[in-house]
A = this chain, B = another copy of it.
């Protein structure tokens, strides 16, 4: 079975629709994690973006880390995760973005230390979900501040009925979603092939 097929099967078996907007897949993706599935996902992103000369994989803590790590492993490049809120040991030379969280109803600051992204970097952004694109917006701002080149955006699950994917594609950014969901209305998960 393809990795896309494996993810869909997992979503069908274990996913829970919380509302018309929210699909909970925390049994394998972002609370409990299936490491073997993550490795296959990482290999798939490495395959899709393999020709892009990626030098860094960038994500945001915490739920993006597992997928990003396996992508970095497969591409043999370092992974950087943006931290939420500035830790006191981080120093002042940082890039910052803002992320609005709909599930938590708050705006948080995300930061990357200046040493780990720069003008020579070709950055692949990886995240578990692409929904309204809030995390993506924050990460784009960080890449822009670093003067780095964005080569694309890879996400495990895209909720195409939210605006994040359109926002990125309209900017000319290459978006690769392993599984695309067209609707969660009425508790039904509708995949788009």
| Interface residues, chain A, with chain B CB atoms under 8 Å away | 18, 22, 24, 26-28, 31-36, 38-39, 61-62, 65-66, 69-70, 72-73, 76-81, 83, 87-90, 103-105, 112-113, 115-116
Are A81 and B62 closer than 8 Å at their CB atoms? Answer: yes
A103 touches B89 (CB 8 A): yes
Q: Could you pull out 21 A-B pairs where Cβ atoms are within 8 angstroms?
A: A24-B89, A28-B78, A31-B90, A31-B113, A32-B78, A32-B79, A32-B115, A33-B69, A33-B72, A33-B80, A33-B81, A35-B69, A35-B72, A35-B77, A38-B69, A66-B69, A66-B79, A69-B69, A87-B104, A88-B105, A89-B103
With contacts A31-B112, A65-B66, A66-B79 known, what are 19 further pairs, Cβ within 8 A? A18-B89, A22-B89, A26-B113, A27-B115, A31-B116, A32-B79, A32-B115, A33-B65, A33-B72, A34-B78, A35-B69, A36-B73, A61-B61, A62-B65, A62-B81, A62-B83, A66-B69, A69-B70, A88-B103
Q: Which of B31, B73, B80 contacts A80 (CB 8 A)?
A: B31
